Structure 1
Amino acid sequence: MFRSGAYQLRIQELDSNYRKDIDHGTYLPFTYPWGAYGALLALLYLLVPHRQSLRLYRLRWIVWGLNFVHAVYTIKYTRAQGPARSYAVGFGMAWSILWTTSMLLLHDGQTEFYRVQRISDANGSLQKSDFNPAGTTPCSDRDGEHKAQTKFSLKMQPFPASPYLARLYWVLDLMLTFRGMAWNWRIPNLPSPSVQVSINGQVMAEELSHTARPTARSYATKEALIHASWRNFVKGYIALDVLKTLITHDPYFWGETHGPPPAYLPSLFRSSSTFVQSYRLVIAQLCIYWALQTLFQLGPLVFVGLLGNNIVGSWGQYWMYPSQWGSYESVLERGLVGWWGEWWHQTFRFFFETPAKSAVRFLDLNPKSPLARLLQIFIAFSLSGTLHGCASYTSNGETRPLRGPFLFFLLQPVGIAIQLFCSHYLRSMNISQKLPNVVKLTCNFVFVHFWLYYTAPLLVEDIARGGQLLWEPVPFSFVRGMGFGRRDDTWYCWGGLLYSWHQGKYWWQSGLAT
């Protein structure tokens, strides 16, 4: 077992390595506004109407190229202090390349995309560009007094030429929306908005209800959303507190991936390498799940519960926030396809699918053919592996971006292909039809967890070596405060400066360093 204080020494080691790299000029600190230049450039470009200008339309290649160079340079030469921020540098920069590729090159975000807008049925005049799609309801002011009844209908809003504030809101919504809930490119697992009024035209109806198999849960009212968000936030806080406390007692999660099992496990379990690895993978999965789940609750709690649509528009509408996770039944019913395509969060799905679909069109393949579907799956997972690999590359620890996260995600479509082939074979031999449903569900469950048992360490151990599991997710720890942590743990877990001013050699290197 590691000596007392080894956990804190590991944190100090990573911080010391960061400082040495900065002091010796190996890397530059990641600063703002430098880190936002790529996003700012894309924002400025999209704010300028280019529907009637071929020259401006072609300028998108220059915008994409400048952002690409900026992102690659940042990944290669800058680092941030702290596990979460260092990971975010690589992930965020790689994400900016993927976003601009999808929205500027493979699509024309300004001309192809539309967002929902509310209009008044009484006079047809345009209301706010943000809306409540609950249909014919009383409009009420902030102190709850009802105003006159007004009927509203919905239409799709293209890029607004004027006024400027409406255009700015439209572009910001496009840039900050991941799943496209209020857009015509909404990802397919989301439910349609809860619309109770007639919609203008058949095209609009098709665009709002294209989902054949929604797997995300929607909420019928604002109160239901806020209640669920608070419940998930509290559960997540408690779960992260418990999980983080367990992590502080297991050197595996500090980067010592060949370290002994934690001492708190019974000796019978500690002697089983299979149990120890399974236990650690479950802890890591729960950490990722609850970290994301808790983070996802901040949107509805702040925008809907605190600010509301009078301040932030459609971002303050309850229907904008269907659940991020599907039902685990999808894993039992569809195996790895259900795990990645329906149960796990689908935050980046559109931006993984867009290049994949473009490749299929470029190769002139039938989109429904097995070859095209397999190609799309491999491209989508390769892009996910690239994002996580770049995040691994900018981490402060000794990571293996290609042999770790990239390989993990690249192996997932291999598992999917194996499972689909076996399923097809059993159906062709008329075996599948004869099996009881419980046998099918059990086989899917076993295969998924067998596959992840042997592939997930590629991702989990790389995250551990990078220091990401040393990140402190909660400011106050009730579990450690009651004495279940290390001897030097206290109730308060956060400390140090979030930002500091860095004066670089050139003006563009100066800014708030993270």
Structure 2
Amino acid sequence: MGQPGQHGVPLRTIYRQIYREKFWADVEAGVTKLFVVPLCFIGILILPALYLAIPHKDRPWLYRARWPLLAFLTAFHAHMIRSVSSMNFASAYGAGLIAAWGTIWNFALLVWTRPQWDAKRMHIRKRTRSETAGKHLNGHSTSQSALRVQSCDGTATANGHSQGAASKIPRKRQTHAKEAAAVVSDQPTNQPTSTTDLDQEYEYYWQEYPTDASFWTRLDWVLALITNVRMTGWNWAIPCLPPYEPPPYVDGTQLPLSSGIHKSRQGFTRELTRRQLLRSRFFGSIIPSYLVLDFCIVATSADPYFLLGPENHDRIPLPPPLASLPPLALSALRTGLSFFAILSALHLVWNVWALILAFPLRPLLGPLRSHPYHLPSMTGSFAQVLDRGLTGFWGAWWHQTFRFGFSAPALWLQRRGYLTSRLSTRLVGASLAFLQSGLVHAAASATTVAPSRWPMPLAFFLCAAAGTVLQAQLAAALHRPLVKHLPRPARRAGNFAFVLLWMWATSWMLVDDFGRCGLFLYDPLPVSVFRPLSPRIGGDPADTRVLRYDPGSAPTWVWVPGPWGWLQSGMAF
């Protein structure tokens, strides 16, 4: 391989090879196991889905069986964290993340909530020919009775809700429903509302757990629940998203999806057509995110801090442009590059996956679950950060992917009467959410090939919790004598300055560990735009290849012989 800087070998290539040789040596020694699919998804997807697909509302013994199942799933995920890793640095990090999040998600669905009793998804069924013809003629269905929807318990209602269903909808969801009704009431009832093919062919209703349906129908319902972490399209949808309700009825006609509210107060938005989704996500997010991530990867390719972490970076001298910077400026530069690399990578993966769901997987998911209506934006409005500081950063602007699972324990305590005030609910809820987020990232750190310090990500998220409380207390103390008299731009500037300084002062705990884990060694982009400019933007002058294919990161098929070999065989990522 040669030494760094010799024979024109890129630094990333050298250290990727070093870590991968260590990984395969650990595999041969039996210390490490491969990250194999579907084996590693048994605990987060396969067994929970099979259990929840069996009705247990009228079988108390079966409902109590969730405890031994939960014990097994938790032990399985603990074993993953201790022993599973990957030659792909992103997959190695993801192995621990999946194991930790799988444990949190299983507790959310098996302990903190009761899906078979309380969960409902917005579902569709095809209209009859007469209903469709009537809608094509005048934009309305022929009669109100023609659009009545049969609920799962056999009680027909005019809007698709079974009796008493409104009491199960969270208060914020009821508020959203009132707002949607207000929007609808402003529309002239004698004019047809714009519709899509989906609206013309289908009708919408709440589908509760289909107890009396076939096993495959129940399994479809359960899989839709388990794989939908933000609960889009369910009555459990997290409150920062645009509301999810079956469209209301006006004069016996169910309005189209476009009649509702499609931007939340926090700034999360959704498109209503696949053409809008493609244009917004591809040109508005995927291409910019790709370019920003490419630039960040190239700009960090010669900095030993990103390649080896803070403890070992002195093995390689800093490039001249970085060596000339003052320590504070160097720290700010590294923090900024890390932040934009993480944010652009999340946007890239998120929106590519949204397009995959909307287009290639449409035949598998069906017309509603693959509809852009179910694919809201990843982040909210940055104005939330300016107006609310760290609380707005973490609770409204940053992606809320894990929010349902993180908030489930506090909501369970509130329902049981252990949290009786709004302040205690908010404090305990925020503390538990940040603690769980820290544990997820700590577990991800523990499964990487390179030596890491898993307590550091946990410390970062605990500091984030402390920062939100500190800023809230300072704002409350200064509001009456000072803050309320300031103009809005000044208040926003203060919030932004606090967020910027706090993140800069604490993010080293997370970013340092990313460097130790080898995450910055991973090159996810197949083609690089900025590689030819690498020497000019502080990158590795030995690495100017435009095509970035890395054979070591490609998945491989693994077959394990023996009686139980089929269980351990699969695709190793």
TM-score normalised by length of structure 2 = 0.79
Partner of residue 459 from structure 1, selected from 502, 506, 510: 510
Match of 1:235 in 2: 288
Displacement of 1:168 in angstroms is 2.3
Match of 1:498 in 2: 555
Call closer, same or farther: CA 1:500–1:195 in 2, change over 3 Å: closer
What SS is found at the alignment partner of 2:223? helix
The answer on 1:418 being equivalent to 2:470 is: yes
The answer on 1:15 being equivalent to 2:20 is: yes
Displacement of 1:362 in angstroms is 5.2
- Unmatched 5+ stretches in structure 2: 128-143, 152-159, 161-179, 185-191, 253-259
Call closer, same or farther: CA 1:242–1:317 in 2, change over 3 Å: same
Q: Is the 8 A contact 2:121 2:207 kept in 1?
A: yes
Call closer, same or farther: CA 1:434–1:90 in 2, change over 3 Å: same
Please give the alpha-carbon distance, in whole angstroms, between the structure 1 residues aligned to 2:275 and 2:334. 37
Q: Is the 8 A contact 2:38 2:570 kept in 1?
A: yes
Displacement of 1:65 in angstroms is 1.3
Displacement of 1:162 in angstroms is 1.2
Call closer, same or farther: CA 1:282–1:139 in 2, change over 3 Å: closer
Displacement of 1:366 in angstroms is 2.0
Please give the alpha-carbon distance, in whole angstroms, between the structure 2 residues aligned to 1:310 and 1:400. 41
Partner of residue 429 from structure 2, selected from 376, 385, 388: 376
Displacement of 1:494 in angstroms is 1.9
Partner of residue 3 from structure 1, selected from 2, 5, 21: 5
Q: Is the 8 A contact 1:194 1:220 kept in 2?
A: no
Q: Is the 8 A contact 2:438 2:459 kept in 1?
A: yes
Displacement of 1:30 in angstroms is 2.6
The answer on 1:108 being equivalent to 2:139 is: no
Partner of residue 321 from structure 1, selected from 341, 364, 375: 375
Call closer, same or farther: CA 1:239–1:375 in 2, change over 3 Å: same
Q: Is the 8 A contact 1:480 1:486 kept in 2?
A: no
Displacement of 1:104 in angstroms is 0.8
Please give the alpha-carbon distance, in whole angstroms, between the structure 2 residues aligned to 1:210 and 1:478. 35
Match of 1:146 in 2: none
The answer on 1:58 being equivalent to 2:75 is: no
Please give the alpha-carbon distance, in whole angstroms, between the structure 1 residues aligned to 2:415 and 2:404. 16
What SS is found at the alignment partner of 2:65? helix
The answer on 1:85 being equivalent to 2:91 is: yes
The answer on 1:446 being equivalent to 2:497 is: yes
Q: Is the 8 A contact 2:526 2:547 kept in 1?
A: yes
Match of 2:227 in 1: 176
Please give the alpha-carbon distance, in whole angstroms, between the structure 1 residues aligned to 2:364 and 2:432. 41
Displacement of 1:209 in angstroms is 8.0
The answer on 1:513 being equivalent to 2:572 is: yes
Please give the alpha-carbon distance, in whole angstroms, between the structure 2 residues aligned to 1:483 and 1:414. 39
Displacement of 1:167 in angstroms is 2.0
**How big is each residue's C-alpha offset from its partner over 1:22-79, in whole Å with a ceiling of 9 and x where there is no partner?**
1222222232332122221111101111121111111111221111111111111222
**How big is each residue's C-alpha offset from its partner over 1:293-346, in whole Å with a ceiling of 9 and x where there is no partner?**
011112331222345478633222111111111111111111100110111100
Report the residue type matching 1:412 in the other structure: A
Partner of residue 478 from structure 1, selected from 522, 529, 541: 529
Call closer, same or farther: CA 1:336–1:150 in 2, change over 3 Å: closer
Q: Which has the higher Rg, Structure 1 or Structure 2?
A: 2
Call closer, same or farther: CA 1:336–1:470 in 2, change over 3 Å: same
User: Which moved further from structure 2: 87-96 or 53-62?
Assistant: 53-62
**How big is each residue's C-alpha offset from its partner over 1:361-400, in whole Å with a ceiling of 9 and x where there is no partner?**
557222412x332121111000000000000000111111
Match of 2:175 in 1: none
Please give the alpha-carbon distance, in whole angstroms, between the structure 1 residues aligned to 2:432 and 2:498. 23
Match of 1:205 in 2: none
What SS is found at the alignment partner of 1:314? coil
Partner of residue 364 from structure 1, selected from 411, 418, 443: 418
Partner of residue 31 from structure 1, selected from 36, 58, 62: 36
Q: Is the 8 A contact 2:122 2:246 kept in 1?
A: no
Please give the alpha-carbon distance, in whole angstroms, between the structure 2 residues aligned to 1:211 and 1:239. 26
Identity of aligned residues (%): 26
Report the residue type matching 1:492 in the other structure: L
Please give the alpha-carbon distance, in whole angstroms, between the structure 1 residues aligned to 2:219 and 2:359. 24
The answer on 1:408 being equivalent to 2:460 is: yes
Call closer, same or farther: CA 1:211–1:237 in 2, change over 3 Å: closer
Please give the alpha-carbon distance, in whole angstroms, between the structure 2 residues aligned to 1:63 and 1:430. 56
Match of 2:321 in 1: 265
What SS is found at the alignment partner of 1:475? coil
Please give the alpha-carbon distance, in whole angstroms, between the structure 2 residues aligned to 1:310 and 1:86. 29
**How big is each residue's C-alpha offset from its partner over 1:155-203, in whole Å with a ceiling of 9 and x where there is no partner?**
2100113144432221111011011110000001101248654289xxx
Please give the alpha-carbon distance, in whole angstroms, between the structure 2 residues aligned to 1:63 and 1:227. 44
Q: Is the 8 A contact 1:31 1:512 kept in 2?
A: yes
Call closer, same or farther: CA 1:501–1:178 in 2, change over 3 Å: same
Please give the alpha-carbon distance, in whole angstroms, between the structure 1 residues aligned to 2:87 and 2:470. 41
Please give the alpha-carbon distance, in whole angstroms, between the structure 1 residues aligned to 2:200 and 2:16. 59
Call closer, same or farther: CA 1:275–1:362 in 2, change over 3 Å: farther
Please give the alpha-carbon distance, in whole angstroms, between the structure 2 residues aligned to 1:194 and 1:125. 14
Please give the alpha-carbon distance, in whole angstroms, between the structure 1 residues aligned to 2:261 and 2:110. 26
- Unmatched 5+ stretches in structure 1: 142-148, 201-207
Match of 2:268 in 1: 216
Q: Is the 8 A contact 2:233 2:245 kept in 1?
A: no
Please give the alpha-carbon distance, in whole angstroms, between the structure 2 residues aligned to 1:375 and 1:94. 20
Call closer, same or farther: CA 1:209–1:376 in 2, change over 3 Å: farther
Please give the alpha-carbon distance, in whole angstroms, between the structure 2 residues aligned to 1:153 and 1:264. 65
**How big is each residue's C-alpha offset from its partner over 1:196-243, in whole Å with a ceiling of 9 and x where there is no partner?**
54289xxxxxxx989973430222433222211111112222222221
Please give the alpha-carbon distance, in whole angstroms, between the structure 2 residues aligned to 1:220 and 1:501. 42
Q: Is the 8 A contact 1:248 1:486 kept in 2?
A: no
